Amino acid sequence: MTRLDLESHLARLARSAIHSGFHTTMAIATGNTRLTALALNDRGVTFDSTLKADVTFVFDSAETALAVLTGGEDPIAAFLDGRFRSDGHLPLAFVLLGLFRPDADTTPPR
């Protein structure tokens, strides 16, 4: 899966109703390679790989990234298997894990 494929899937699935005033950045990496970064706010998602991220998700592959972020795979299981980790603001990371899932609570942490 390419960076553009991943961005396309995530842009299509991103929750459009992010709480008013919410703004954060996240990056997605595989190993030591940053695949993409996203700016997230109440107007949507913008991709810019140069952004400084509040949270970085590191996966073993782009396929694992897509599966974990969209709910196809349990993030805890992926973490315990060593295929996923998060660096940065941990409470925010849990909110961001739900951003691309239709049934998740995306209320930002205080």
- Tell me the whole-structure pTM to 2 decimals: 0.82
Q: Residue 3's pLDDT is what?
A: 83
Q: Which CATH superfamily is domain 3-97 in?
A: SCP2 sterol-binding domain (3.30.1050.10)
Residue 28's nearest CA partner among 42, 41, 44, 45 is 45
Q: Domain ranges for the chain, please list them.
A: 3-97
Over the stretch 64-94, which tens digit does the pLDDT of each residue have? 999 999 889 999 999 999 999 999 998 888 8
Q: Residue 100's pLDDT is what?
A: 82
DSSP state at residue 53: P
Output 27 or 4, whichever has higher pLDDT. 27
Determine the Cα–Cα distance for residues 42 and 58; give it in Å rounded to an integer: 25
